[in-house]
Amino acid sequence: MLDNPTLVSFDLCPYVQRAAIVLGEKGVPFTRRDVDLSAKPDWFTRVSPLGKVPLLVVGDDVLFESSVIVEYIEEVTDAPLHPSDPLTRARHRAWMEFGSSILADIWVLETTRDTAALDQKIATLRDKFLRLEAALSDGPWFAGAEFSVVDAVYAPVFRYFDVFDRITDLGILTDLPKLAAWRNALAARPSVIAAARADYPELLHSFLRRHDGALLRRVKKRPSFRSAKSNREVRRNKSMLIVTS
């Protein structure tokens, strides 16, 4: 049994979100501790071999790499989120890696200042989502009726597009009905909602503005990302979004 671990986090990191979703699905109480990755505290650099998040602190032990963290949570808790059949489980893990490759593409999409590189990534992502559409079940989840770890991997992917869609129409997710239904189901899942801050859209848009990439240059009209609860612009001095696998 996992007894109140600490999830060391950065507020925009999609890999942190997947660990938080799995903890939420398992009903494991945990403490979340955010760090500023542009000014890493000494305690963090001492315990994070790669200088990245997430970390899972379990007693005196520290785990790093989101895939390792998720597999550990799966092994030591009840209500498995992986399928029991070895071949199906391996297939799920393969699609989890595919999801990580999509996140790497999204990093380029949101940070590149080169228009040609942006267009290339849009085409790459479109092709990957077409492949994903073909692999999906009839829903509501990746493999059908049961929520699994692979669903936790893709929920943060779609959270990016919730923000991108308010900026410009990239056409990446157009005419993919199974994927659209899956995306909507994930967005309504309590564990997915709880995995990111309520002001995530403002934080991501602020990050995009700081990088001033080609993506924002496609904006025809500056979108509003002010939440109903806050009428001030989010000011955060985070210079990078660190991704890991």
Which residues carry out catalysis?
13
| Residue of 189, 30, 140 whose CA lies nearest to 20 | 30
CA neighbours closer than 13 Å in the CB half-sphere of residue 192: 22
Task: Output the DSSP codes for 168-214.
Answer: ----TTTT-HHHHHHHHHHHT-HHHHHTS-TTHHHHHHHHHHHHT-H
Peptide bond into 140 cis (omega under 30): yes
Q: Which value, to the nearest 10 degrees, does the dihedral of the CA atoms of residues 40, 206, 16, 41 take? A: 10
